[in-house]
Amino acid sequence: MNSAGKVPPAGPYKLVVFDWDGTILDTTAAIAISIQYAAEKMGLPVPSATKARSVIGLGWRDAMKIIAPTCPEEEFPQFGAYYVERYRPEEGKVHLFPGIENVIRTLHERGVTLAIATGKSRRGLNRVLEATGLGKYFADTETADENPSKPDPGMLEAVAIATGIDPADTIMVGDTTHDLGMANAWGCRSIGMTYGAMTAEMLEREKPVALCRDAEELARVLGLS
């Protein structure tokens, strides 16, 4: 697939749904490091950085089956506690991807409805929305606490119910095959961001309308520039 700069705009849309980690906030490395730290503290095999990144966007239980398949379910809370122990200090160091706030603000100013569908917990998402000041732009936010894990289309279905906007008028923006696969399952278009957890080659398998290397290309595909 050509880069976003060589494809036409994604066409008419009323709703843009964003993933959070690896799409809006550059948390990929922090999440992977924290997963590895938790596994080591638990005395479990430490997953590679690639495997740790591959579960970003999934609900916690689904992620644990991949990153720590030998961990008993009753020990998931302890794994999670170690994860938070390592991740929370890192969260203060991460930043928004360059230009993404401008894309979100411009979409909002033009009357486009915005939403979030993320594998984060509700508490975690609320915390970062407040910290970044972006919460005011989103009409609806859905997390893995309230919905089935991606790529199940439950989050997008919940967004559609909250906004009243059909799949045909919706675009999902994400950095993982979980995001794009969810869009396919819901029957809406998707755009893959290649600066996050997965490579362009991996994302291309889910047939997004475009792959974007940065927020500037995303703005072009969305017809903002």
Paired tokens of 142: 């859905």
Token pair for 146: 């309230």
User: Residue 166 is encoded by which pair of tokens?
Assistant: 């059909």
Task: Find the catalytic residue in 19, 62, 140, 179.
Answer: 19
- Which residue, among 189, 205, 222, has the nearest Cα to 4 in the 3D structure? 222
**Does the annotation mark 175 as catalytic?**
no
179 contact partners, CB below 8 Å, separation of at least 6: 19, 23, 57, 117, 150, 151, 172, 173, 190, 192
Q: Which residues pair with 190 in a beta bridge?
A: 172
Is-cis flag, bond preceding 69, omega within 30?
no
Task: Look up 152 and say whether it is catalytic.
Answer: no
91: left (phi over 0), alpha (psi -120 to 50) or beta: alpha
Amino acid sitting at position 3: S
Q: Which residues are catalytic?
A: 19, 21
